[in-house]
Amino acid sequence: MIAICNHDSYFVQKKDAFGVTCLLPEQKIIVASLMLAYGVSTDQVDEIALMGKSTILESLMRFCSAIKSIYTVKYLRKPTEMDLQSILKKVEMRGFPGLIGSINCMHWTWKNYLSAWQGAYGDIKGAKSIILEAVASFDTWIWHAFFGVPRAQNDVNVLAQSPVFNDVLQGKAPRVSYWVNGHKYH
């Protein structure tokens, strides 16, 4: 919250022209978080937050913009060659030589899906879900995230369309050396 308030004065509590204290930063941030986490609309949070719909939407847009601006440089990016060497050194000390991250596909039930997309994100049982593929290092640095595409309702299909291995396949991946079972790999 402090980082967001320092980045965008919209979130700082102020007084209006009549001297009335305006909304708390927590109100604006919580509303944006609720909308993102649960996929709820402004109609579902306006009475809870005691905010107008336009303010809720403004809070959401500014929250997303602030998060992107604040954290892209350090966290929401691919690791550099130096980052990879650092990760490899740290995980080797922990007993996992050669590990740069853990890739996982997570299936989220999509409760509030758009009815126009009804058939595109259904599985065999009829449940609507969307798949998130992510790569994270041991220190929870998520350096890759990819939401599965329609009709790709299994992990193998998502991995086949994922951009995570594109650089490797195109020969653009950073050069990294590591040891596993006494054998050096490049």
Q: What is the mean pLDDT of the chain?
A: 81
| 156 & 99 share domain | yes
CA 54 centroid distance within chain: 25
8 A C-beta contact, residue 122 and residue 153: yes
Our count of domains for the chain comes to 2
133-153: average pLDDT: 74
**pLDDT value of position 130:** 76
The contacts of residue 27 (CB under 8 Å, 6+ apart) are 49, 50, 51
pLDDT interval class at 119 (50, 70, 90): low
**pLDDT value of position 184:** 85
**pLDDT value of position 58:** 94
H/E element holding 91?
helix 81-93
Instruction: Answer yes or no: is 76 within a domain.
Output: no
- Top pLDDT among 26 and 108 is at 26
| 94 & 114 share domain | yes
**pLDDT value of position 117:** 66
The contacts of residue 32 (CB under 8 Å, 6+ apart) are 59, 60, 62, 63, 64
pLDDT at 8 over 90: yes
For residue 26, the enclosing domain spans: 2-71
Q: Which of 39, 43, 35 is nearest to 61 (CA)?
A: 35
9-19: average pLDDT: 89
| 95 & 168 share domain | yes
pLDDT one-digit tens code per residue, 54-100: 999 999 999 999 999 998 877 777 788 888 888 888 888 888 877 77
Whole-number Å distance between alpha carbons of 4 and 10: 9
The rounded percent of the chain whose pLDDT value lies above 70 is: 88
| 47 & 133 share domain | no
Instruction: Count CB neighbours of 143 within 10 A.
Output: 19
| 92 & 180 share domain | yes
Instruction: Answer yes or no: is 100 within a domain.
Output: yes
